[in-house]
Amino acid sequence: MAQVLEFKLPDLGEGLTEAEIVRWLVEVGDVVAIDQPVVEVETAKAMVEVPCPYGGVVTARFGEEGTELPVGAPLITVAVGERPASGEADAAGAEGSGNVLVGYGTSEAPARRRRVRREQPVSGASAAGSRAVTGQGAAPAAVNGQAGAPETEDGPVPVISPLVRRLARQNGLDLRELTGSGPDGLILRADVEYALRAAARAGAAAQTAQPHAPVPQPHAAVPQATSTATAPQPTAPQPTGTAAHGEIRTPLKGIRGAVADKLGRSRREIPDATCWVDADATELMRARTAMNAAGGPKISLLALLARICTAALARFPELNSTVDAEAREVVRFDHVHLGFAAQTDRGLVVPVVRDAHARDAESLTAEFARLTEAGRTGTLTPAELTGGTFTLNNYGVFGVDGSTPIINHPEAAMLGVGRIVPKPWVHEGELAVRQVVQLSLTFDHRVCDGGTAGGFLRYVADCVEQPAVLLRTL
């Protein structure tokens, strides 16, 4: 007798909580092998083929192409082999492959949930908003089969990610009063945000309904309208694509949503500062031309700038670091995983060149080309988009001279490079037309002061102006 096993959307790493089904690679009735890719999904980071850890016959698929599923939602079910007479499941299927895909395993025993503290209850309007989500006046969810029984302090609250739990805590929202819309009542970020919006509307409605009522005293409940016929009720959020006249609304999801979240977090958490300098890049351009004229693989300008960056970070390692805010420590790295900004049809991505400090210009050129092409085709893996320690942003390709880069959280700095254009420049005491570039460095002021940042930028500029400076440090 076959055993039917359920395979759920795994944790794809880096805090990703959902993925969109792009293409199914199997049909119901197909026979799949252990670790065979069964579906292609798109996360906020990349396109990923998800392998199934079980071998057998596909009996069901969950979600149509284009559907967005949260982590932990069922993907497929697989009928695995024949069950031995002893009643133990077939080892190859029931136990799974044991392989790991960016942070998920296939072992049978789930990890124990850690204890969670009971959130502070919502007062006033917030409480009203919470009730609006669970149903006005509805009793708390059943616990141990007893309707209306409150959950114990040690009871688990199914929340899709720690970020959602923190969002609720920061706004004084009691998660135990919400009914999650995810699988098995899983509380999603959208549930918390809807509850907060409903709470705000309920508070505004109460004030509108009783404009002459006295101002509530501290800790007093917000007055509620007595007539259910006239009392404004919280309305459901507008569906995607619905907009008022003259508005076009685009959901912040996928890569665009990930970029928005990351840049917003960078601005909130990192006290950044920017310094910049103009540099004469004439000699650097001549050096590149000479290198490419000598035969062999062509060397890209980005690769030369990357070599300069890694040499500068060796001299100023404070900028190749991150801040552990909880431990109040600066974590300095002994390797350079160099991120570089790449614009694609799907949006801005930042692939990472691993161990850039150990690569020569030829190797860097090849790796930049490979990752850029993967970004354009949407085949970058989460591992190729994470783990950077410093980012190089060549926004000169857009025809602009300067910018103030936003640090790629949780890194400590980013070097921006503008376009290289002919400009009047004083060279060897005379006015001449030279190839000039503006360099800008945005840095986390917690890891260093202006002297270190200025020294780094000045060294980069010196290498651009006189590439022989770089040769002396190699």
pLDDT at 61 over 90: yes
Q: Which of 22-26, 32-36, 248-252, 398-402 has the lowest mean pLDDT?
A: 248-252
Q: Report the percentage of the chain scoring pLDDT > 70.
A: 71
pLDDT at 45 over 90: no
Instruction: Give the pLDDT confidence score for residue 103 in this predicted structure.
Output: 38
From the candidates 154, 360, 427, 445, give the one annotated as an active-site residue. Answer: 445
CB-CB contact of 71 with 12 (8 Å): yes
Q: Which of 1-10, 74-83, 118-127, 168-177 has the lowest mean pLDDT?
A: 118-127
What span, in angstroms and rounded, lies between the C-alpha atoms of 467 and 460?
Answer: 10
445 is catalytic: yes
Average pLDDT, the chain: 77
Instruction: Give the pLDDT confidence score for residue 140 in this predicted structure.
Output: 36
401 within domain boundaries = yes
**For residue 385, what is the DSSP state?**
G
139 within domain boundaries = yes
**316 with 439, same domain?**
yes
Count of domains forming the chain: 3
**142 with 233, same domain?**
yes
**For residue 177, what is the DSSP state?**
G
**54 with 153, same domain?**
no
Enclosing domain of residue 137:
116-241
428 within domain boundaries = yes
End residue of a domain, out of 213, 241, 269: 241
pLDDT in tens, 300-344: 999 999 999 999 999 999 999 999 999 999 999 999 999 998 888
Q: Is 251 left (phi over 0), alpha (psi -120 to 50) or beta?
A: beta
**329 with 404, same domain?**
yes
Phi and psi torsions of 388, nearest 5° = -70, 150
What span, in angstroms and rounded, lies between the C-alpha atoms of 32 and 55?
Answer: 5
What span, in angstroms and rounded, lies between the C-alpha atoms of 417 and 141?
Answer: 56
103 within domain boundaries = no
Mean pLDDT of 23-50: 85
Provide the 10 A C-beta neighbour count for residue 466. Answer: 15
**46 with 190, same domain?**
no
Instruction: Give the pLDDT confidence score for residue 24 in this predicted structure.
Output: 93
248 within domain boundaries = no
Instruction: Give the pLDDT confidence score for residue 272 in this predicted structure.
Output: 96
Instruction: Give the pLDDT confidence score for residue 208 in this predicted structure.
Output: 59
Q: What's the number of CA atoms in the CB half-sphere (13 Å) around residue 342? A: 27
pTM of the complete model beyond 0.75: no
pLDDT at 95 over 60: no
Q: Which of 226-235, 375-384, 405-414 has the lowest mean pLDDT?
A: 226-235
Cis peptide before 410 (omega within 30 of 0): yes
Q: Which of 114-123, 210-219, 382-391 has the highest mean pLDDT?
A: 382-391
271 within domain boundaries = yes
Better pLDDT: 452 or 102: 452
CB-CB contact of 433 with 439 (8 Å): no
**145 with 76, same domain?**
no
**294 with 427, same domain?**
yes
* Nearest alpha carbon to residue 76 among 104, 45, 51: 51
pLDDT at 452 over 60: yes
Mean pLDDT of 203-230: 48
101 within domain boundaries = no
pLDDT band of 450, cuts 50, 70, 90: very high
Instruction: Give the pLDDT confidence score for residue 160 in this predicted structure.
Output: 58
CB-CB contact of 28 with 120 (8 Å): no
Instruction: Give the pLDDT confidence score for residue 358 in this predicted structure.
Output: 96
pLDDT in tens, 112-158: 334 344 444 444 434 334 433 333 333 333 333 333 333 334 455 67
397 within domain boundaries = yes
From the candidates 154, 324, 360, 449, give the one annotated as an active-site residue. Answer: 449
184 is catalytic: no
Instruction: Give the pLDDT confidence score for residue 110 in this predicted structure.
Output: 37
Q: Which of 143-147, 272-276, 281-285, 351-355 has the lowest mean pLDDT?
A: 143-147
Mean pLDDT of 280-299: 93
**357 with 418, same domain?**
yes
**191 with 277, same domain?**
no
Mean pLDDT of 75-96: 60
Give the CATH number for residue 429.
Answer: 3.30.559.10
What span, in angstroms and rounded, lies between the C-alpha atoms of 34 and 5?
Answer: 13
pLDDT at 350 over 70: yes
Please name the amino acid found at residue 179. T
